[in-house]
């Protein structure tokens, strides 16, 4: 029993959610009003992690991330340490895996903004970035919050991808879900209970707070 898996899990979830927010918003803005084949293709690939078993995606990410893989080789040349079995690799894999959980609420949020609001802002002399910051984003706060909560909660709950890409290295890649698995394997049910119940309660509380906030502050 140690606190390390918890700290690692939250660090991972925070990093992944921050990267997902920064990348998800531009992707969602681009996707929301496009009808091209390219956009449909991108939308489908973004949603893939929802339907694929984590082992499938984890396997391909492993091939991509390993020292001989295209991304792994470049990473090692650049940063001097491998991507696979490493915290950074875990963050990257979580970002890929969490993408639909962030992007889908955001796309719905962008689509829910009446086109006239954006047009009105333009006719009032505002360039697109002012419109984005002052009109578009503030009117999809609820979707941004939903995306963040889902991405965060999903990363906390990840198992398969983490196992494939991260291995199970204490203090580096052993997140709570892996620690539970280890404890059960070792027949240490007491530790497994502690890890599992804390994760259970935490996930429930996160979702509860998010839905409360959404209902109280953003229901127009």
Partner 1 sequence: MIEAHLEKDLFGASGSFRLSVNFRVDDGQCVTFYGPSGAGKTTILRMLAGLETPQEGFIRVNGESWFDAKKRVLLPSHKRRVGFMFQSYALFPNMTVGGNVAYAMQKKSSAKLEDLLGLAGILELKDRYPSTLSGGQQQRVALIRAVASEPKLLLLDEPLSALDIPTRLELQDEILRIHRLFGIETILVSHDKQEVFRMADRVLSIKEGRIHAEGSPRGVFFKRRFSPKFAVTGRVLAIERADIVFRAFVATGTEILQVILGERDAKRFKPGDEVLVASKAFNPMLLPLFEPFDTQAPQHASPVTIGYVD
Residues that bind partner 1 (CB under 8 A): 114, 116-117, 119-128, 134-135, 138-139, 220
Q: Specify the residue, 11 or 126, whose C-beta has the smaller distance to partner 1.
A: 126
Q: Which residues, 6+ apart, have CB-to-CB distance to 111 below 8 Å?
A: 32, 33
Q: Where are the alpha helices (DSSP H) in the chain?
A: 4-32, 37-51, 54-65, 70-79, 87-111, 115-123, 128-131, 141-156, 160-166, 176-185, 189-217
Cβ 217 to partner 1, closest distance in Å? 12
Q: Specify the residue, 121 or 143, whose C-beta has the smaller distance to partner 1.
A: 121
Q: Specify the residue, 111 or 126, whose C-beta has the smaller distance to partner 1.
A: 126
Cβ 112 to partner 1, closest distance in Å? 11
What is the chain's length? 220
Cβ 143 to partner 1, closest distance in Å? 13
Cβ 151 to partner 1, closest distance in Å? 23
Q: Specify the residue, 36 or 123, whose C-beta has the smaller distance to partner 1.
A: 123
Q: Please spell the DSSP secondary structure of 64-100, one letter per residue.
A: HHSTTSHHHHHHHHHHSS-STTSHHHHHHHHHHHHHH
């Amino acid at each position: 029993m140690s606190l390390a898996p918890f700290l690692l899990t939250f660090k991972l979830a925070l990093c992944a959610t921050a990267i997902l927010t920064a990348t998800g918003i531009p992707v969602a803005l681009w996707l929301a009003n496009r009808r091209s084949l390219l956009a449909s293709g991108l939308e489908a690939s973004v949603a893939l992690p929802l339907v694929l078993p984590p082992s499938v995606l984890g396997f391909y990410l492993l091939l991509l991330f390993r020292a001989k893989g295209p991304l792994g080789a470049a990473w090692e040349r650049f940063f001097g340490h491998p991507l696979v079995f490493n915290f950074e690799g875990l963050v990257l894999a979580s970002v890929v895996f969490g993408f639909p959980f962030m992007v889908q609420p955001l796309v719905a949020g962008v689509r829910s903004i009446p086109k006239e609001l954006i047009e009105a802002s333009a006719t009032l002399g505002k360039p697109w970035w002012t419109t984005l910051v002052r009109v578009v984003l503030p009117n999809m706060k609820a979707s941004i919050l939903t995306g963040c909560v889902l991405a965060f909660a999903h990363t906390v709950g990840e198992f398969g991808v983490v196992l494939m890409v991260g291995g199970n290295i204490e203090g580096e890649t052993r997140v709570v879900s892996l620690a539970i698995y280890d404890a059960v394997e070792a027949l240490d049910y007491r530790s497994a209970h502690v890890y599992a119940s804390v994760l259970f309660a935490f996930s429930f509380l996160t979702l509860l707070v998010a839905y409360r906030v959404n209902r109280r502050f953003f229901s127009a």
